[in-house]
Amino acid sequence: GDHVELDGRLGLRARRAALRLLLRDAPGGLLHAALGVNGTGGIALRLDGEGPFQDWPVTIAAEISDAATLDGNATLDLDGGPRLALQADLVPGPAWTAATGLPDGEVRIDGQGFWGDDALHVTRLDLHSQAADISGNATWDFAADVLEAGLQARSVDLARHLPAGIETGPAEASALLRLDPSGLRASARIALRDWRLHGHDLPSAAADVALDMPPGLDRWQARADIKASTPTLPGGLDA
């Protein structure tokens, strides 16, 4: 039940390209097996684009079984880098939460990146959803075998994804990661303000977490520092 169609034209003298790709994988097909997807819907991908090398537009439409659909547009600069700018909307399907463990809700994706000097640079990746806004960037230097990434997140509405009795306020998180021949190092900070837990005020709370793993990633060392202020508990708590 797998089906692929590909049509393309490459004009080197005119510096223009055209592409049409259609892919369909029926339930139980090769992509379903590779992705571990077991759904009643198929996996489909369509790419269409025609334009000059320096500003090549591509339309993207994808369906991942019962998990999600994605529609977006990308612009590629094949002469300089190459470079890519992407805007897309991810719409979860009925199997989204069960397959990913993530909350339901449409996600808007905006990203930019380029390839140069034997390195892949994701200069900006923004994810906007009902629960949170997330921004990140990353550089993967293949020559030096080094991956560096950063992430920042700000809550929008977490209450609908948390148990009853938790009244949410602002929440922010940031993280840094570096993977190189000497091992993996990661750090993260999470901060909450003006939350209320089952009738108890939580004016502020913060957690700093660090993780170190040597080459081979077979051992690890973690450290966590947590500070919270909960004045409505008996006697209060400030640790």
Cα separation of 218 and 198, whole Å?
A: 40
pLDDT for 72 equals 97
In this prediction the pTM is: 0.82
Q: Locate tokens 């900006």: which residue?
A: 124
Is-contact 123 113, C-beta < 8 A? yes
* Burial of 222 (C-beta count, 10 Å sphere; 0-12/13-18/19+): exposed
Is-contact 37 64, C-beta < 8 A? yes
What residues contact residue 238 under an 8 Å CB cut-off, 6+ apart? 227, 228, 229, 230
Residue of 175, 190, 171, 89 whose CA lies nearest to 131: 171
Reported as a single tens digit per residue, the pLDDT across 157-198 is 887 778 888 888 999 999 999 999 999 999 999 999 999 888
Q: Which residues of the chain have pLDDT under 50?
A: 238-239
Is-contact 81 92, C-beta < 8 A? no
Cα separation of 47 and 20, whole Å?
A: 6
DSSP code string of 68-84: EEEEEEEEEESSSS-EE
Q: Locate tokens 């993260």: which residue?
A: 188
pLDDT for 170 equals 92
pLDDT for 212 equals 95
**CA distances from residue 181 to 117, 126, 143, 212 in whole angstroms, order as listed:** 19, 29, 12, 13
Cα 183 versus chain centre, distance: 23
Max CA-CA distance within the chain?
78
pLDDT for 119 equals 93
